[in-house]
Amino acid sequence: MDTQAVRTRLLMRREELQTRASRASADLRHESDPLSADFAEQVTQRESDDVLGAISESAQQELRLLQAALRRLEEGRYTTCAVCGEAIEEERLQAVPYTDRCRTCAEGTRRPPGSAPPRKG
């Protein structure tokens, strides 16, 4: 695992989201687009505010996940599953760079300890 490349990728994604989030909230404050005096026009503007609000919220949620992933990277825990302690599949980290659990734990298909099938013989 090339942690430097992962780090760069996470940082780039974080910057992208921060740009998107701050642009959305600037639009929400109508910095360059003051609320119209016309009522019908205001309704349209408020509808688009809802969309912008949603973008900003999901971007912020992903930002928190990215932040946590960067911290795990610093602490050398990035490729370790937070639930079972086993290594997270590399292709899974490629697909979901901010995940903190292996595929088995994410899907919830791991059997609890002690429930292994009885040995044959």
Closer to Zn ion by CB, 26 or 68: give it.
68
> By three-state DSSP, how is residue 87 classified?
strand
Q: In the window 4-63, what residues touch Zn ion (CB under 5 A)? A: none
CA 29/CA 90 separation, integer angstroms = 41
| Binds Zn ion by CB under 5 A, chosen from 52, 65, 83, 96 | 83
106 binds Zn ion (CB under 5 A): no
84 binds Zn ion (CB under 5 A): yes
> Residue-wise over 19-36: b if at least 16 C-beta within 10 A, else e?
ebbeebbebeeeeeeeee
Closer to Zn ion by CB, 71 or 85: give it.
85
